[in-house]
């Protein structure tokens, strides 16, 4: 990380017009000024913008509240920096409400894209996510930064005074070894997955084996079921044959029963037809009897009919005369009515005109007083218009007040919403506190468990070490045994060869020597035999010695094997201690986090409770509410006066309407006067027409002519009445005559028809008798139908029962077949599961080795071991320069344990000019600063050169006041010596002699009003 640009506002002593610090103008600079002017504030601004951390009071979780400038409510820092050739910008802000009881913060992270010449956002969904992105980009956290490249004021001994484990943690971050933690965690997770898979497969194998235990019983049961199915099938076939015979017999009986029902129905139909024929005979007999009666009175009937015909002709002639008589009478009535109608119309018109004239005269009389009110209405209209204008002004004031009331209502609603929201947050916090307490109660014994597991882990490490030693000794013994056995075999071969040579020598009769090939003399033979005998003795002694050594080594091996088994037996309960410790530590970390979270939640809950009790929320709304009430009080509004004005203003339209009516009345007056004059002229003309009769002159003469025609018509109303009455008496004559004619025509036919119907009756009686006989026979045949049906039903039930039993057996057979098929699949599954379990165990063992390799005692430890000499060398080079070779520092990674053996550590050993190690606390302030400075500078160099993200910035804000002139010169020389390792170096001091050593200075001054400011000098 290389700084590029720093912009700050209201941060610590800097105000709103603080200048921008451009880092591109220098590589090494001295940040100087008097104490308290704001030098370190610039560095705090950098760390706060990137990590949200800076100077803070003890006990404070975050420093934000203490960093904002006194009297300000908003602070903001924008920091631009480069990482690995890319440019980034982070902007962090913090705001406090006017009351100071609520705060808000914001965080933005951006990447500069040269092609677009603009910054693109990298900000996450929330600040925690954005902070993680920033730290991932920078490559280290705040603690690592201030323990290496950033020597903060008052914290130069940050690294030296940390515990060994904390120092190793810092080195892990500087060397970017956290990836091994991730790899170890990944291996641990994969090992757990493999272990779970192996356990799952083992469980599956057990399950499958258990599932296969009943296979022999299933096979035996399947054979039994197949036999039962064959028996049941044969029995069912027999039952079905019996049921079929009964069913056929029952069907035959049912057919006969249906035939009997049909015959019964036919008999019933014949009975109905016989009854109908009898009724028909009776009806024909009545017709014949009626015809005989008519024929007996035929003469009288004919006379009455002839008299009826004569009177009917006379009635027709009288009807013609009556119609003519009535026509003339109607004309007379019509003309008379027309005369009366015309006379009445004229009289009505005369009366109507007289009434209209009278009404018009009355209306004219009523209009004249109304017309006199015109001037008064104009004055009232003007007054109403003035009232309307005033009412409009008051309505505006009323609307303003109503709007303010609505605003007040909305404010009240929002305040209630705020209170409900705060109450909801408080309830949620209370519930979370309850859960956290419950969770903490379950984890109270974690510390003791952690310590107990640590003891087990230390014991396991000791046993692992012993086990390795035993393995090494066992390997050496095995190699020794192999060497001894090999030598024994070789010696035995030598012995056999020597014995064979000696045998050949003894059996030789001269000739060549079997050892050297020369002539075998007696003396030479004796000498060779003696040599061979000596060699055999030596070889036998060596073989005996080797065999004793072999036995001794085997005894040692047995003792080692016993010891190995004892250690292994003791180690077995300790397996998984590391994983358990990691789990417990994670649980403890989570518990500690829960404790912090609980404290934070309690503080938040207390704060929310206080806000609710004191109503410390919605201050701006309450102020706005107060201001609105004040404005309302300043707007005068008299509701009663407004109502009076409104009522008066409402009369405007009425007065206008009345004036329009008066204007209309003036026109109406003129019209009425004209109508009255016209009506008087019409009345005079109508009176003249009625008196002279000229309006209906033709009608009287027409009436007279019609009366003369009426007297000429020969019509006797009396005779007309007699004829009418006689025809009424003879009205049945025509009907009787018609019946007589019908009787004369049909009497013989009716007799013939009666005889035919009687014959049908006799034939149908005979047929009915035959059907009754057939029905009796059928009823006898179906007498046993009920018994056959019962027998058939019982047999059907037997068949159904047999089928059900057979189906059950077939289902059972199918189920057994399925089980046996599944058993075959299970056998295949067992083979696959065993293979998978074997593979899972192999994976488990592999990831177990990888977990150990990636763990803190594996590769990271080796890398640290390799790196420490480099740090030690760098620190001693600087320390040699700073102390003129009088001090030396040594980093030790192993420490003897009281119980024996060693354990990993990271101790700092400091030796004085006599080469004697001394505790860090015994050195003076200047000496300890030089040691701290050398170590921190070595760490900063390491951080600047590490792979991955490189922090090529060094900031020194510490300790120069403890040095004399020579010490300061040596520090400056040391800084200048390492400047090539860093892109930017900042040295903060108020010492005049140190300022002069740097050509570029950032001079900081503080104004009591505008705050701190600075000037960059020497660029």
- Tokens (6 digits) for 719: 């005779």
Q: Is residue 538 a contact partner of residue 493, using CB atoms and an 8 Å limit?
A: no
- Residue 30 annotated as part of some ligand binding site: no
Q: Does residue 998 surpass a pLDDT of 70?
A: yes
pLDDT at 1008 over 80: no
Instruction: Indicate the class that CATH gives domain 447-575.
Output: mainly alpha
Residues 6+ apart with CB under 8 A from 887: 879, 910, 911, 912, 913, 927, 930, 931
Domain boundaries, the chain: 1-139+949-965+976-1018, 144-154+165-175+857-947, 214-442+671-767, 447-575
Residue-wise pLDDT for 639-648, tens only, equals 788 788 887 7
pLDDT tens, position by position, 807-849: 888 888 888 888 888 888 888 888 898 899 889 888 888 888 8
Judged against a pLDDT cut of 90, whether residue 164 lies above it is answered with: no
Element (H, E) at 431: helix 374-442
Q: What is the pLDDT of residues 683-716, one digit of tens each?
A: 777 777 777 766 666 776 777 777 777 677 666 7
Mean pLDDT, rounded, of the chain: 79
Stretch 116-131: mean pLDDT:
91
Separation in Å, CA 325 to CA 44, 483, 711, 798: 138, 173, 9, 105
Tokens of 940: 């900063």
Sign of CA dihedral 485, 486, 487, 488: positive
Question: In the predicted model, is pLDDT for residue 577 greater than 80?
Answer: no
Instruction: Report pLDDT digits (tens) over 36-66.
Output: 788 888 988 999 999 998 876 545 566 677 8
Q: Please state the separation of Cα 955 from the chain's center in Å.
A: 49
User: Helices 298-371 and 651-692 sit at what angle, rounded to 10 degrees?
Assistant: 130
Residue 230's CB: how many other CB atoms inside 10 A?
A: 11
Q: DSSP of 665-715, one letter per residue?
A: HHHHHHHHHHHHHHHHHHHHHHHHHHHH-GGGTTHHHHHHHHHHHHHHS--
Q: Mean per-residue pLDDT for 738-765?
A: 80
Phi, psi of 1002 (to 5 degrees): -110, 100
Mean pLDDT in residue range 497-501 = 81
Phi and psi at residue 119, in whole multiples of 5°? -90, 135
Residue of 551 and 590 predicted with greater confidence: 551
Among the ranges given (431-435, 494-498, 839-843), the one the predictor scored with the smallest mean pLDDT: 431-435
Q: Which pTM was predicted? A: 0.38
CATH of domain 1-139+949-965+976-1018: 3.40.50.300
* Helices and strands (H, E) in the chain, number of each type: 23, 15
Please give the Cα distance from 84 to 77 (Å, whole number).
23
Q: Tens digits of per-residue pLDDT, 226-244?
A: 888 888 888 888 888 888 8
pLDDT band, very low/low/confident/very high, at 129 (cuts 50, 70, 90)? very high
**Nearest partner of 941 among 970, 971, 911, 977, judged by Cα:** 977
Locus of tokens 């451009």: 22
Structure-block tokens of residue 411: 């404010």
Least confident of 50-64, 96-110, 534-548: 50-64
Residue 155 pLDDT greater than 60, yes or no: no
Strands (E), 222-306: none
Residue reference for tokens 């101790």: 907
Q: Which of 122-126, 263-267, 379-383, 1005-1009 has the highest mean pLDDT?
A: 122-126
Give the pLDDT score at 78.
96
pLDDT level of residue 156 (50, 70, 90 thresholds): very low
pLDDT at 947: 45
- Measured over the CA atoms of residue 628, residue 631, residue 636 and residue 642, the dihedral's sign is negative
> pLDDT-based confidence at 11, cuts 50/70/90?
very high
Judged against a pLDDT cut of 60, whether residue 4 lies above it is answered with yes
């Amino acid at each position: 990380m290389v700084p590029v640009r720093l912009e700050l506002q209201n941060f610590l002593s800097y105000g709103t017009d603080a200048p921008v610090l451009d880092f591109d103008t220098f590589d090494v600079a001295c940040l100087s000024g008097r104490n308290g002017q704001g030098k370190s504030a610039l560095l705090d601004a950098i760390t706060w913008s990137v990590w949200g951390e800076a100077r803070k009071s003890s006990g404070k979780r975050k420093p934000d509240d203490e960093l904002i400038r006194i009297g300000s409510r908003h602070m903001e820092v924008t920091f631009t920096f480069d990482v690995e050739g890319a440019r980034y910008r982070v902007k962090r802000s913090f705001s406090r409400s006017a009351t100071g009881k609520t705060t808000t913060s914001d965080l933005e992270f951006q990447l500069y894209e040269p092609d677009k010449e603009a910054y693109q956002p990298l900000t996450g969904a929330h600040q925690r996510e954005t902070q993680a992105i920033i730290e991932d980009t920078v490559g280290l956290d705040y603690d690592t930064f201030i323990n290496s490249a950033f020597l903060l004021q008052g914290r130069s001994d940050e690294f030296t005074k940390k515990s060994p484990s904390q120092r190793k943690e810092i080195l892990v971050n500087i060397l970017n070894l956290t990836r091994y933690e991730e790899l170890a965690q990944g291996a641990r997770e994969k090992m757990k997955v493999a272990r779970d898979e192996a356990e799952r497969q083992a469980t599956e194998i057990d399950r499958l084996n258990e599932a296969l235990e009943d296979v022999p019983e299933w096979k035996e049961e399947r054979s039994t079921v197949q036999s039962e199915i064959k028996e049941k099938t044969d029995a069912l076939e027999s039952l079905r044959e019996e049921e079929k015979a009964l069913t056929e017999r029952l069907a035959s009986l049912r057919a006969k029963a249906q035939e009997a029902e049909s015959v019964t129905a036919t008999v019933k139909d014949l009975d109905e037809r016989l009854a109908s024929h009898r009724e028909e005979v009776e009806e024909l007999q009545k017709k014949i009897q009626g015809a005989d009666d008519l024929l007996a009175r035929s003469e009288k009937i004919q006379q009455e009919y002839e008299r009826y015909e004569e009177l009917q002709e006379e009635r027709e002639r009288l009807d013609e005369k009556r119609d003519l008589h009535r026509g003339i009478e109607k004309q007379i009535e019509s003309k008379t009515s027309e005369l009366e109608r015309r006379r009445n119309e004229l009289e009505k018109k005369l009366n109507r005109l007289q009434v209209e004239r009278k009404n018009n005269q009355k209306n004219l009389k009523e209009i004249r007083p109304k017309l006199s009110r015109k001037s008064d209405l104009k004055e009232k209209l003007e007054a109403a218009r003035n009232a309307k204008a005033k009412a409009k002004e008051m309505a505006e004031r009323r609307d303003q007040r109503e709007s303010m009331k609505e605003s007040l209502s909305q404010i009240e609603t929002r305040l209630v919403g705020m209170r409900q929201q705060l109450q909801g947050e408080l309830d949620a916090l209370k519930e979370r506190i309850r859960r956290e307490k419950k969770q903490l109660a379950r984890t109270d014994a974690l510390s003791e468990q952690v310590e107990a597991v640590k003891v087990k882990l230390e014991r396991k490490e000791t046993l692992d070490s012993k086990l390795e030693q035993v393995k090494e000794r066992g390997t050496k013994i095995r190699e020794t045994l192999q060497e001894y056995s090999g030598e024994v075999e070789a010696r035995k071969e030598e012995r056999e060869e020597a014995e064979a040579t000696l045998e050949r020598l003894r059996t030789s009769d001269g000739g060549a020597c079997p050892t050297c090939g020369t002539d075998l003399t007696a003396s030479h033979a004796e000498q060779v035999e003696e040599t061979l005998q000596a060699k055999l003795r030596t070889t036998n002694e060596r073989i005996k010695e080797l065999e004793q050594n072999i036995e001794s080594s085997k005894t040692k091996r047995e003792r080692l094997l016993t010891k190995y088994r004892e250690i292994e037996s003791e180690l077995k309960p300790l397996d998984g201690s590391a994983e358990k410790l990691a789990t417990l530590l994670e649980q403890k970390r989570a518990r500690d986090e829960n404790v912090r979270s609980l404290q934070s939640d309690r503080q938040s809950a207390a704060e929310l409770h206080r806000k609710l009790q004191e109503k410390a929320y919605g201050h701006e709304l309450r102020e706005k509410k107060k201001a609105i009430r004040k404005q309302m009080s300043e707007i005068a509004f008299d509701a009663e006066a407004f109502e009076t004005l409104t009522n008066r203003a409402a009369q405007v339209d009425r007065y206008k309407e009345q004036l329009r009516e008066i204007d209309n009345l003036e026109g109406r007056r003129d019209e009425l006067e004209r109508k009255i004059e016209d009506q008087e002229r019409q009345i005079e003309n109508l009176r003249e027409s009625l008196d002279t009769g000229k309006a209906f002159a033709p009608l009287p003469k027409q009436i007279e002519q019609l009366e003369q025609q009426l007297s000429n018509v020969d019509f006797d109303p009396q005779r007309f009445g007699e004829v009418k009455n006689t025809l009424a008496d003879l009205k049945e004559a025509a009907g009787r005559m018609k019946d007589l004619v019908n009787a004369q025509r049909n009497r013989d036919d009716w007799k013939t028809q009666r005889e035919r119907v009687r014959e049908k009756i006799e034939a149908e009686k005979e047929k009915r008798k035959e059907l009754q006989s057939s029905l009796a026979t059928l009823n006898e045949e179906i007498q046993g139908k009920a018994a056959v049906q019962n027998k058939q039903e019982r047999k059907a039930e037997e068949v159904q029962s047999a089928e059900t039993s057979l189906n059950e057996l077939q289902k059972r057979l199918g189920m057994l077949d399925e089980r046996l098929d599944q058993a075959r699949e299970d056998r295949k599954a067992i083979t696959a599961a065993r293979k998978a379990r074997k593979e899972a165990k192999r994976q488990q063992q592999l990831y177990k080795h990888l977990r150990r390799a990636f763990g803190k005692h594996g590769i990271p430890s080796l890398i640290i071991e390799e790196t420490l000499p480099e740090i030690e060398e760098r620190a001693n080079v600087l320390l040699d320069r700073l102390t003129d070779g009088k001090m030396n520092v040594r980093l030790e990674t192993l420490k003897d344990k009281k119980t024996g053996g060693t354990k990993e550590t990271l101790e700092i050993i400091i030796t004085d000019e006599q080469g004697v190690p001394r505790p860090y606390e015994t050195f003076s302030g200047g000496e300890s600063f030089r040691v701290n400075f050398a170590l921190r500078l070595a760490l900063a160099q390491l951080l600047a050169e590490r792979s991955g993200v490189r922090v090529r910035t060094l900031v020194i804000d510490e300790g120069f006041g403890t040095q004399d002139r020579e010490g300061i010169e040596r520090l400056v020389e040391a800084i200048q010596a390492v400047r090539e390792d860093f892109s930017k170096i900042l040295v903060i001091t108020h010492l005049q002699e140190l300022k002069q050593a740097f050509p570029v200075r950032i001079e900081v001054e503080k104004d009591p009003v505008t705050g701190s400011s600075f000037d960059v000098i020497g660029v």
